[in-house]
Amino acid sequence: MDSYNDEDAEGAASRGSAVPPERAFRPVRQAAQASDGSQRASEGAGDRLPDQGQDQDQDQGQGPLPASEDGPSPTSRGETPQAAESAAAVPGPRSGTPHEDPFQPDAGPGADPAPDPDGDPASVRLDPDAPTRGIAALSLPYQVAVAVSLALIAVLAGVHVAMVFLHVAPSNTASKEYGKAIDAWIYPEFEQNWKLFAPNPLQQNVAVQVKAEVTTPDGDRRSTGWIDLSAEDGDAIRGNLLPSHTQQNALRRAWDFYINSHDDKNRSSGLRGRLSESYVRRLVMARLERHDVGGEVERIQLRSSTSAVKAPDWSNEKIDLRPQFRVLPWWTVTAADLPGGVDNGRTEADR
């Protein structure tokens, strides 16, 4: 036993032999930790690494201790035999790093949030899917109260906009019927002294009609009845989601151009008047090309039929619905009045 030295211990460790008990527990380690007792050894057992005990052994000149097959010995971790026995009785890892408790079941994704171990309510984990902002974060009674409040505000804003609109708009059926209520709402806080729309918006239906005098193939002359060109435009755009701009406005704008450039006796006011007359003739001849008038058009006559818009059923306003006509003189059709593609009922021999 006296001949056993450190070299023999290292060789025995490399060959897998057991370390003698009297060499595994050195007296100098027992003397250094005897005064601390088992309590200090158990407290520092989890905080010290196995290499620390070997470093202290090397500092004291005794060299590293060999390791057994089952892992480092208790003395290599800086523990007394009593501390090693008490630590072995505690299950689970002994390191200071966080670990999962093997005796605690997994809560799962749908379980309630786990409270803080120290009992602090502020550290309770909240559900990440729960709303934290907006009306959805409120309880049901508060959500109902907020929804009712927003609905009342929207209704009040709509009524106010409607009252201001009727106040600043030109005189109409609604403003005449509810004039007192509108004035009570507007005055004095919301008084308006300006007009939003034109002083006299269009409240009439205007239709442009044409009559033609034609020469039949037999050489006779006859006149057609009144052809309502505006009614044809209305039929073309009624029910059409994407109506043509020419179907809506070409004839209407041409007639407005003519009326604004002629006086009540159909006398032209100058160059614009003559230009508007030529434009109306060409437009009307293009429209007559779609009709079978029975021959070649020699002359045309236009008129406008103007009637007021009917008042609503709940109104007491009296409106004359009889149409008013404005008849133009006969125009003789010339080659300048035929736009491209219009042959005016002529045959190949006539051309």
For 281-300, write each residue's pLDDT tens digit.
999 999 999 898 889 999 99
- Kindly give, in sequence order, each residue whose CB lies less than 8 Å from that of residue 86, ignoring residues fewer than 6 positions away: 38, 42
**Angle, helices 140-168/179-186, rounded to nearest 10 degrees:** 110
- Provide the token pair at 60: 């004291």
pLDDT of residue 251: 94
pLDDT at residue 233 is higher than 80: yes
pLDDT at residue 261 is higher than 50: yes
> Residue 229 in contact with residue 251, Cβ under 8 Å?
yes
pLDDT of residue 157: 96
pLDDT of residue 188: 76
pLDDT in tens, 58-90: 444 444 554 444 555 545 455 555 555 555 555
- Kindly give, in sequence order, each residue whose CB lies less than 8 Å from that of residue 210, ignoring residues fewer than 6 positions away: 226, 227, 229, 284, 287, 288, 300, 301, 302
pLDDT at residue 147 is higher than 50: yes
Highest mean pLDDT among 2-11, 42-51, 129-138, 156-165: 156-165
Percent above pLDDT 90 for the chain: 30
CB atoms within 10 A of CB 74: 21
pLDDT at residue 348 is higher than 50: no
pLDDT of residue 229: 95
pLDDT at residue 41 is higher than 60: no
pLDDT at residue 152 is higher than 90: yes
Q: First CA to last CA across the chain, in angstroms?
A: 144
pLDDT in tens, 106-127: 545 555 555 555 555 554 455 6
- Mean pLDDT, range 249-272, rounded to an integer: 90
Question: Where residue 47 falls among pLDDT bands split at 50, 70, 90?
Answer: very low
Highest mean pLDDT among 48-52, 165-169, 305-309: 305-309
pLDDT of residue 81: 53
Taking CA atoms, 231 is separated from 129, 234, 334, in Å, by 62, 5, 27
pLDDT of residue 226: 95
Question: Where residue 235 falls among pLDDT bands split at 50, 70, 90?
Answer: very high
- Report which of 243, 340, 204, 214 is spatially closest to residue 283, judged by C-alpha positions: 340
pLDDT at residue 101 is higher than 80: no
Residue 310 dihedral angles phi and psi, to the nearest 5°: -70, 140
